[in-house]
Amino acid sequence: MESVFGRYRNLVILVFALFLQVIALGVQVHRTTDTEPTRLIRVWVVSAVTPFEKAIVWVQSGTASLWHNYFYLRGVRQENRDLKAEIQRLRLEQVRLNQDAEQARRLQSLLGFREQYISKTVPAQVIGSSGSEQSRVVYIDKDKNDGVKTGDAVITVDGIVGKVSRVLPGTSQVLLINDQTSGVGALLSKSRLQGVLRGTPAGEVILEKVMSDETVQAGENVVTSGGDRIFPKGLPVGVVTRVSQGPDLFLNIRVKPAANLSKLEEVLVVTNVKEMQPAQQQTGPVRAIDILTDRLPSVPEKPAQDPSKPPVAGSAAVSPNTKPGIGANANVIAKPGDMGLAAKNGSAPAVAKPQSTTAQGGTSPLAAASSNGTSNSSAPTDAGTPKPQVEPASNKPAASSANGTSKNSGLAVVKPATEQKPAPPAVKISEKTLSTGSAAQPAGNSVKPTGGQAKPASTAVNPPAKPKPQPQTQPTAQPAMPEPPPQ
Amino acid sequence: MPLTYTSQDQIEVYRFSVGFTIVVPLIAVFLQAFIPLKVQFFSIFDLPLLVVIFFAVARRSQVAGLLTGSIIGLLQDSLTHQPIGVYGIAKTVVGYGASSLGVKIDVENAGARFLVVLFFYVIHEIVYFMVARGLVGLTLEWSWAHELGSAFANAILAVGLFALLDRFKQRT
């Protein structure tokens, strides 16, 4: 026996070493739970490696900071100007988004929804990785002393990154979303289809559990669904890049992550998420266009035009009921195409407030205009330009503009219909009409001049029998027909 | 006389100082964890594996080779989120095999080193694949093109790296 052991000593040691590791591996696989304490060897190795990583990252970031903050300042002024312009634009957009968010909160409050809010985040720097293609984790320089705990979501400004899988002394391990053992509840932003986001062995990200009879388009955005109780709902995940038939009646949806997972430097750890019911504002909803028109100087009223004369090309005829648009004197710096502000410069047409809101399906004029984003100073497009509600009664103006939009200038004209009888005081657009912009579009032309009398379209416009009181939760667009000027 | 960690009384057996024996694997693990953050392409390399092969071939001791492979593999496992031992088993096998080969043939020239690393990289990946799928239950995709490409890249890197590490060899 001794001779056999002596003869095959090396082989026996090999088998023994392998046997020990296999047994240890089996025990770990069997006992793997989230509450399992971290093994000492991990703590030792990570504690030995991370100080060097931190030191290198510190030196590197310090050098880069010194260079960029004190030496390499080329183009900073231009960048500053661009950023200021961007701030102006974003402020304007914020007004619109606040309005939309407030409306959403109000509706959620009515329905008793509870929503998750990110209440605290901890910025962290990525200092290391696993170094393995089969284990896609990174290490950050924050630990439990900074409030980081296992299961916290890790995000960047671009999108989600992963979750904290281990908290070690001086560092934390973050499991990336493209690791094959990760799973994130996600949904497609347009179709609202829910699925599970997983990583592949090759490091790609796929959305699973979407039935194959559903239609998913490439380019659709993917956001978190909140179903995993880790990531709050609505955080950007990525964009669908490819859709193919997968196994077992499910689609194989490839997603390009919004965050660049291969170039992570700084991340945010979501250390606190509050779940609460959205509070309804006491002041009631204020529309973006109302805020803007209140802040901007108004256009003096013009005297009543002779209805027999055609409108002057290049100028917008404003009905007495029409407030000046944001573009009339808007002090807004925006690039063409940004937000699609139809009236973002001085020569843009005035916006007929209620009508334009109606025509775009209940969204604010900014949102309505942003749907095309192709307006320019000389010829705003029809989509971005509010349509007049009333067509001219006479044929002469109709020849110049079939739908109330001047062909020469492309400007919206709301012309007083002198030959019409006084219009009803208010016309309520049905919600069905408001729900789709295309359906609402004919509303502008739905009042046909039949025999000199404006008749509301039967499908799009409710009969103006009684002016109803407006409930607060109704869609923002409660248009009123432009009142004709006194004859 | 420096402390040494070897060896077998055979020809062409080398020894290394204790400091070198400890520091080089740690540096390899550190670089393997840090560089892919800056250069993603670097993740196809396996510096700890190259160090295992270098020590195993130079010492020509099977026990030393498998122990070196086991320790370095466990260090590498500790930085992942997977159970500890997957890399450990794979590198134990490679350490034993490389030292066994080093006993039989001369692997001092660049061509032989290139082929040895090419061969043992594939062996390492096969063992890793089997352990990860069979014991841990990971879903891995085997791609010969990827594995051979990585093996080729590692072999090229190994030729240069081994030449650098040769400077620290001490003859017995």
- Quote the CA–CA distance of A42 and A417 in Å, as a whole number: 81
pLDDT at A308: 52
CATH 2.40.10.340 fits A114-276, yes or no: yes
**Which residues of B are less than 8 Å from A166 in CB distance?**
81
Lowest mean pLDDT among A350-364, A459-473, B12-26, B126-140: A350-364
Confidence category of residue A119, pLDDT binned at 50, 70, 90: confident
Partner-chain contact B32 A201, CB within 8 Å: no
Q: What is this structure's pTM? A: 0.61
CB A437 within 8 Å of CB A443 = no
Q: Looking at this protein, which amino acid is placed at residue A306?
A: D
A321, pLDDT greater than 80: no
Residue A486 has pLDDT above 60, yes or no: no
Q: What is the pLDDT of residues B2-56, one digit of tens each?
A: 444 444 445 567 788 888 889 999 999 999 988 988 888 888 899 999 999 999 9
Chain A 48-87, residues with CB within 8 Å of chain B CB atoms: 48-49, 52-53, 56
Q: Residue B154: which H helix or E strand, with range? A: helix B144-165
Helical ranges in A192-318 per DSSP H = 288-295
Place of tokens 């100082």: B17
Please report residues of B whose CB lies closer than 8 A to that of A45. Answer: 29, 75, 78-79
What does the pLDDT read at residue A292?
A: 52
Q: What pLDDT score does A140 carry?
A: 92
Whole-angstrom distance, CA of residue A236 vs CA of residue A159: 5
Strand (E) or helix (H) holding A168: strand A160-168
Contact A106, A115 (CB under 8 A): no
Cβ contacts of B8 within 8 Å, gap of 6 or more: B59, B60, B61, B103
Distance from CA of B37 to the nearest CA of A (A): 7
Which of A5, A22, A129, A263 has the highest number of chain B CBs within 10 A, making it the mutation to test binding with B? A129
Q: Is 80 exceeded by the pLDDT of residue A350?
A: no
Instruction: Determine the average pLDDT of the residues in A354-382.
Output: 37
Task: Give the one of B33, B135, B141 whose C-beta lies nearest to A49's C-beta.
Answer: B33
Q: How far is CA A31 from the centre of its chain?
A: 42
Spell out the long-range contacts of A208-211 with Cβ–Cβ below 8 A and sequence spacing 24 or more.
Answer: A208/A246, A208/A250, A208/A253, A209/A250, A210/A250, A210/A251, A210/A253, A211/A249, A211/A250, A211/A251
Instruction: Give dist(CA A375, CA A241) in Å, integer.
Output: 30
Q: Is the pLDDT of residue A363 over 50?
A: no
Q: Which of A278-282, B97-101, B114-118 has the lowest mean pLDDT?
A: A278-282
| A252: three-class secondary structure by DSSP | strand
Q: What residues of chain A lie within 8 A of the CB of B85, using their CB?
A: 21-22, 24-25, 28
Q: Pick A153 or A413 by higher pLDDT.
A: A153
Residue-range domain boundaries for chain B: 14-171
Number of Cβ atoms within 10 Å of the Cβ of A468? 11
User: How close does chain B come to A25, measured CA to CA in Å?
Assistant: 6
Measured CA to CA, the distance from residue B94 to residue A24 in angstroms comes to 19
pLDDT, mean over chain A: 66
Cβ B30–A180 below 8 Å, yes or no? no
Q: Map residue A315 onto helix, strand or coil.
A: coil
Q: What is the pLDDT of residue A11?
A: 86
Indicate if the alpha-carbon torsion angle A199, A204, A207, A211 is positive or negative. negative
pLDDT reading at A392 higher than 90: no
Which residue from A255, A276, A482, A275 is spatially nearest to A391, judged by alpha carbons?
A482
Q: For residue A313, is pLDDT > 50?
A: no
Rounded distance between C-alpha atoms, residue A174 and residue A148, angstroms: 11
Q: Compute the residue count for chain A.
A: 487
Tell me how far CA of residue A97 lies from CA of A92, A364, B60, B128, in angstroms. 9, 10, 70, 52
The two three-digit tokens of residue A16, written as one number? 């023994």
What does B36-72 look like in DSSP terms, one character per residue?
HHH-GGGGG--HHHHHHHHHHHHH--HHHHHHHHHHH
- In angstroms, rounded to a whole number, what is the distance separating the alpha carbons of residues A390 and A206? 51
Of A153-162, A365-374, B27-36, least confident by mean pLDDT is A365-374
- Scan for tokens 């809101």, then name that residue: A357
pLDDT value of position A472: 42
> What pLDDT is stored for residue B150 in this prediction?
92
Residue B7: asked if its preceding bond is cis (omega within 30°), the reply is yes
CB A454 within 8 A of CB A390: yes
What are the pLDDT digits (tens) for B46-98?
999 999 999 998 888 889 999 999 999 999 998 888 888 899 999 999 999 99
**Which residue from A minimizes the CA distance to B66?**
A14
Mutate to test the interface with A, among B39, B63, B82, B124 (most CBs of A within 10 A): B82
Domain boundary assignment for chain A: 79-113+286-487, 114-276
B36: nearest Cα among A266, A177, A64, A262: A262
Instruction: Note whether A240 and A216 are within 8 A (CB).
Output: yes
A29-43, A67-81, A157-171: the lowest-pLDDT one: A29-43
Measuring CA to CA, which residue among B136, B129, B116 is closest to residue B50? B116
Mean pLDDT score, A418-426: 43
Compare B92 and A430 and report the one with higher pLDDT: B92
Is it the case that residue B148 has pLDDT exceeding 60?
Answer: yes
Measured distance CA(A350)–CA(A327) in Å, rounded: 7
pLDDT at A332: 35
Residues of A in contact with B83 (CB under 8 A): 25, 28-29, 32
Give yes or no for residue A127 having a pLDDT over 70.
yes
Confidence of residue A400 (pLDDT cuts 50, 70, 90): very low
Least confident of A324-328, A460-464, B3-7, B93-97: A324-328
Q: Which residues pair with A267 in a beta bridge?
A: A124
Residue where the block lists tokens 């970031």: A61
Q: Which backbone phi and psi does A454 adopt, to 5 degrees?
A: -75, 125
* Two tokens, residue B66: 């498998």
Across A433-437, A452-456, B20-24, which has the greatest mean pLDDT? B20-24
Share of chain A above pLDDT 70, in %: 53
Q: For residue B118, give every residue at least 6 positions away whose Cβ sits within 8 Å of its Cβ, in sequence order, or none.
A: B151, B152, B154, B155
Mean of pLDDT values over A220-241: 87
Residues B165 and A441: their CA atoms lie apart, in Å, by 77
Tell me whether A24 touches chain B (CB under 8 Å): yes
User: How far off is chain A from B171, nearest CA to CA, in Å?
Assistant: 23
Question: Can you tell me which residue has the tokens 């002198």?
Answer: A418
The fold for domain B14-171 equals Arp2/3 complex 21 kDa subunit ARPC3 (1.10.1760)
Q: Which of B68, B69, B77 is nearest to B32 (CA)?
A: B77
Point out the least confidently predicted range of A337-341, B160-164, B168-172. Answer: A337-341
> Cβ neighbours of residue A196 under 8 Å, at least 6 residues apart?
A183, A184, A185, A186, A207, A208, A209
φ, ψ for residue B76, nearest 5 deg: -65, -40
Which residues of chain B lie closer than 8 angstroms to A180, CB-CB? 138-139
Is B44 an interface residue toward A (CB < 8 Å)? yes
Coil, helix or strand at residue A67: helix
Q: Give the alpha-carbon dihedral of B106, B110, B115, B119, to 10 degrees.
A: 80
Name residue B171's beta-bridge partners.
Answer: B14
The pLDDT, as a whole number, for residue A115 is 65
To the nearest whole angstrom, how far is the Cα of A358 from the nearest Cα of chain B? Answer: 52
In this prediction, residue B98 carries a pLDDT of: 92
Task: Give the residue on A whose Cα is nearest the Cα of B81.
Answer: A135
Interface A-B, measured as beta-carbon pairs within 8 A, has a size of 136
| DSSP assignment string, A234-251 | T-EEEEEEEEEE-STTBE
Give the best-scoring range by mean pLDDT among A137-146, A298-307, B103-112.
A137-146
